Amino acid sequence: MMESMIRDFSLASKGHEKISWVDHYMPTLNAIGSMLKEKQTFKGKTIAISVHLEAKTAYLAKVLHRAGAHVVVTGSNPLSTQDDVAAALVDDGLTVYSWYNATNDEYFTFLNKALDHHPDIIIDDGGDLVHLLHTTRADARENIIGGTEETTTGVNRLRGLDKGGALQFPMIAANDSYCKYLFDNRYGTGQSTWDGIMRTTNLTVVGKRVVVAGYGWCGRGCAMRAKGLGAHVIVTEVDPIKAIEAVFDGFEVMTMEEAAKIGDIFVTLTGCENVIRGEHMKNMKDGAVMANAGHFDVEINKKELEQMTVGHFEARHNIEGYTLPNGHIINLIAEGRLVNLAAGDGHPAEIMDLSFAVQAMAAKYLLEHYQKLENHVYVLPHTIDTEIANIKLASMGYQIDSLTDKQRAYLNLD
């Protein structure tokens, strides 16, 4: 057994406390976990997980471990690992390679260490494990039957590989299940982005001009919650259809060039690069705050910010202040890394209950179907979404009607 690499094992009890808190609010994952545990579905299999290593993801890792898997966990972002949670997992017998504030080299060392276990299944978040398995770590592919991908950016990277015929094993786009993106990307990001921004800045949102870049699933949630907090919300987009949606949802739509001049708080959620650039920052108001909630820290151009700044200082914990030549100070939260995780605890447990129910079911699906799958990106069958939704709904105490046979025939359903 290879040794774990974590920051401080003595933090385990704090980590256990965090994990048992979320466990209580994840009934869907618990129900699925009990079924998997009873059948020991993953006995003899190694699952490598690259995730934002905090309490909810740790709980998913534990569920898979209890279902018989040898689980190896690594981070998916240098700033999102919680050291106490990592310690708790090691205490529970899982193998972990990750710590908070890893350097780039350490981050990739950890991913490689996870791949040294030659996993049967990978659970990826952002596509870094898949990338390594298709480049420098082809040797670690020998046992792979497939994997799952948690987020939009990772799925975009996978589709790129798939389009070029380069994908070497089947991947399930967990992100693209209804029970994932409709809730996690929208309501999860909506709440946790504001939690991260508010707890880090300790400033008001009410009355502020909030600029939301990208009106996809994450952007919709972020804009919706900003409005609920009393902000005046401006949306920037590149897709004319999403822009119309934003207008009809009651938001102002304009270019970043215009928004930069009037915004107080900027949040990028596009999955694209260079969304806020030097040419925008130079026109920002004194005291403007920038944060990113997209997967990679490429949406706010830090290089251009650093080049144009005449002074750089820690404005507050996890906030860097940059003084511009015109004397304005503009602030960047958590180095432009995804703010809800690098400056918060990520999505609420009840939301990740659905996302990780999808992940657990996706791993099971892979195990049961990999022989029939080709090296493409797949979305789980809708029946699995429905099964997860039924468990969630029941756990929340809601009941809904069901169709009669006659109604099904009327709707031309099987």
The kind and range of the H/E element at 311 are strand 311-316
Question: 201 is written with which tokens?
Answer: 């800045």
What's the Rg (C-alpha) of the chain?
22
Cβ at position 225, least distance to ligand NAI in Å: 13
CA 413 to chain CA centroid, nearest Å: 35
Interacting residue with ligand NAI among 4, 153, 201, 309 (CB under 6 A): 153
Return d(Cα 152, Cα 335) in angstroms, integer: 21
Q: Does 293 bind ligand NAI (CB under 6 A)?
A: yes
Cβ at position 277, least distance to ligand NAI in Å: 10
Residue 237 or 320: the one with the smaller Cβ distance to ligand NAI is 237
Measured between its terminal Cα atoms, the distance across the chain in Å is: 50
Return d(Cα 216, Cα 388) in angstroms, integer: 23
Interacting residue with ligand NAI among 18, 45, 62, 295 (CB under 6 A): 295
- Name, in order, each residue with C-beta under 8 angstroms of 393's C-beta and a sequence gap of 6 or more: 399, 400
Residue 170 or 294: the one with the smaller Cβ distance to ligand NAI is 294
Interacting residue with ligand NAI among 74, 236, 318, 331 (CB under 6 A): 236
Mark the segment that binds ligand NAI (CB under 6 A) among 5-13, 91-99, 234-242, 314-322. 234-242
Distances (CA, A) of 324 to 282, 327, 330, 336, 400: 7, 5, 8, 18, 57
Find out whether 157 and 60 touch, Cβ atoms under 8 Å: no
Q: Does 219 bind ligand NAI (CB under 6 A)?
A: yes
Binding residues for NAD(+), as ranges, are 151-153, 216-221, 237, 293-295, 340, 347
Interacting residue with ligand NAI among 66, 137, 232, 242 (CB under 6 A): 242
Residue 51 or 86: the one with the smaller Cβ distance to ligand NAI is 51
Question: For the residues of 346-360, what is the DSSP string, one character each?
Answer: -S-HHHHHHHHHHHH
Q: Does 127 bind ligand NAI (CB under 6 A)?
A: no
Question: 7 is written with which tokens?
Answer: 């920051």
Q: Does 280 bind ligand NAI (CB under 6 A)?
A: no
Find out whether 329 and 322 touch, Cβ atoms under 8 Å: yes
Mark the segment that binds ligand NAI (CB under 6 A) among 72-80, 181-189, 302-310, 321-329. 181-189
Among residues 329, 210, 187, 334, the alpha carbon closest in space to that of 264 is found at 210
Q: Does 355 bind ligand NAI (CB under 6 A)?
A: no
Residue 238 or 394: the one with the smaller Cβ distance to ligand NAI is 238
Place of tokens 């949606």: 245
Interacting residue with ligand NAI among 78, 119, 170, 216 (CB under 6 A): 216
Binding site for ligand NAI (CB under 6 A): 151-153, 181, 184-185, 189, 213-219, 236-239, 242, 269-272, 275, 293-295, 338, 340
